[in-house]
């Protein structure tokens, strides 16, 4: 039985990687006024973020329904696939719970089959890397248990190791996703917060200027080099030039090209705001098709 890998739209992998690895997706939703759109259908990110800067009220975001998941799960089960479904952190979204509900229904309706649903505790590129690792294991012919184990191992390696800087905490505050960075709100307009995600938004440190925030991202790349995380990525929101500068600096430090450089989309972007810049990585052994455990990695890149 071959294994299909399913995720949601908040990984923000480049579309060519999604196609290349045969990754199946379920979209979250973005609502402005009475207009609800699937995130995967919003392709003009420049226009979306221009509107975000100008509007008084932030767009709302919502998880997929169990029915959205069933539309993906049921054909895969009918085709004889096992499924490993890896999703956005349950601490900030009900997406993974909707996936669990749908998995129970799909298996019951099919009269059997396997769907393993995993809460990544992550988002964005930090979610995308475990999805790629699971896809590699599936492509190597591993079964559901082995593919799920690879995803979980990659998640454990990834936690606290995708570090990002934002221009302000204001969007997170207004969207109710500020997490344990709440204590920084009073000075949010005067700082550039350095954050990570481990179930919720977690603060690391505060810097005063964009230059210092960029230098902190370069320091993350240096830490990735030291602990052998040679499979790395850069993500941003409306910071194309800074993202390329960071990718160039990180490649010189780590010695390998990025797995991808991409822009974060509307669901996470609506809660974080323009100006985000982040970097993180894992050992490329986790992206190999072969079976067997990858070496452990000591310490977070923070």
pLDDT, residue 69, reads 98
pLDDT, residue 208, reads 83
Asked if residues 140 and 147 have their Cβ atoms less than 8 Å apart, the reply is no
Asked if residues 30 and 270 have their Cβ atoms less than 8 Å apart, the reply is yes
- pLDDT higher at 194 or 68: 68
pLDDT, residue 180, reads 43
pLDDT, residue 167, reads 85
- Over range 91-109, report the average pLDDT: 97
pLDDT, residue 218, reads 97
The domain limits of the chain are: 3-29+60-158, 162-287
Asked if residues 22 and 270 have their Cβ atoms less than 8 Å apart, the reply is no
CATH code of the domain occupying 3-29+60-158: 3.40.50.10170
- In sequence order, the 6+-apart residues with CB closer than 8 A to the CB of 295 are 228, 283, 285
Q: Which helix (H) or strand (E) holds 232?
A: strand 231-236
Looking at the predicted structure, is the pLDDT value of residue 122 above 50? Answer: yes
The Cβ of residue 197 has, within 10 Å, a number of other Cβ atoms equal to 29
Burial category of 271 from C-beta neighbours within 10 Å (exposed 0-12, middle 13-18, buried 19 and up): buried
pLDDT, residue 165, reads 92
Distance (Å, rounded) from C-alpha 296 to C-alpha 288?
15
Residue 76, both tokens: 């895969």
Give the tens place of pLDDT for each residue, 18-65. Answer: 999 999 999 999 998 889 999 999 999 999 999 988 887 889 999 999
Give CA separation, 157 vs 67, 206, 211, 217, 242, in Å: 32, 24, 28, 18, 26
CATH code of the domain occupying 162-287: 3.30.1180.10
The Cβ of residue 111 has, within 10 Å, a number of other Cβ atoms equal to 7
Helix/strand/coil for 42 = coil
Looking at the predicted structure, is the pLDDT value of residue 14 above 80? Answer: yes
pLDDT, residue 56, reads 77
pLDDT, residue 254, reads 98
Distance (Å, rounded) from C-alpha 176 to C-alpha 166?
16
- In sequence order, the 6+-apart residues with CB closer than 8 A to the CB of 236 are 242, 243, 261, 263, 264, 276, 277, 278
Residue 146, both tokens: 């082995």
Asked if residues 261 and 243 have their Cβ atoms less than 8 Å apart, the reply is yes
The 3-class secondary structure across 86-154, one letter per residue, is: EECCCCCCCHHHHHHHHHHHHHHHHCCCCEEEEECCCCCHHHHHHHHHHHHHHHCCCCHHHHHHHHHHH
Please name which of 162, 101, 103 lies closest in space to residue 128, comparing C-alpha atoms.
162
- Please provide the size of the chain in residues: 302
Give CA separation, 249 vs 51, 161, 229, in Å: 31, 18, 15
At residue 184 the predicted structure's pLDDT band, cuts being 50, 70 and 90, is: very low
Looking at the predicted structure, is the pLDDT value of residue 183 above 50? Answer: no
pLDDT above 90 coverage of the chain, percent: 74
């Amino acid at each position: 039985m071959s294994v299909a890998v399913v995720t949601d739209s908040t990984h923000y992998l480049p579309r060519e990687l999604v196609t290349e690895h045969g990754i199946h997706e379920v979209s979250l939703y973005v609502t402005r006024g009475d207009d609800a759109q699937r995130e995967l259908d919003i392709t003009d990110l420049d226009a979306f973020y221009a509107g975000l800067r100008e509007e008084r009220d932030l767009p709302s975001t919502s998880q997929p329904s169990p029915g959205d998941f069933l539309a993906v799960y049921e054909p895969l089960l009918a085709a004889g696939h096992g499924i490993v479904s890896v999703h956005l952190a349950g601490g900030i979204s009900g997406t993974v719970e909707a996936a669990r509900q749908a998995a129970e229904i799909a298996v019951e309706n099919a009269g059997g089959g396997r769907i393993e649903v995993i809460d990544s505790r992550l988002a964005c590129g930090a979610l995308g890397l475990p999805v790629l690792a699971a896809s590699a294991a599936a492509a190597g012919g591993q079964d559901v248990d082995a593919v799920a184990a690879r995803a979980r191992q990659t998640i454990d390696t990834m936690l606290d190791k995708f570090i990002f800087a934002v221009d302000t905490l204001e969007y997170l505050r207004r969207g109710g996703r500020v997490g344990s960075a709440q204590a920084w709100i009073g000075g949010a307009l005067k700082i550039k917060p350095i954050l990570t995600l481990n179930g919720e938004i977690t603060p690391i440190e505060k810097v005063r200027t964009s230059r210092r925030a960029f230098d902190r991202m370069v320091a993350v790349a240096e830490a990735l080099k030291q602990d052998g995380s040679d499979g790395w990525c850069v993500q941003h929101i409306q910071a194309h030039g800074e993202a390329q500068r960071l990718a160039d600096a990180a490649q010189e430090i780590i010695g390998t090209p990025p797995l991808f450089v991409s822009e974060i989309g509307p669901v996470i972007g609506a809660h974080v705001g323009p100006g985000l810049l982040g970097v993180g990585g894992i050992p490329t052994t986790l992206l190999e098709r072969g079976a067997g455990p990858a070496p452990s990695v000591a310490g977070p890149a923070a």
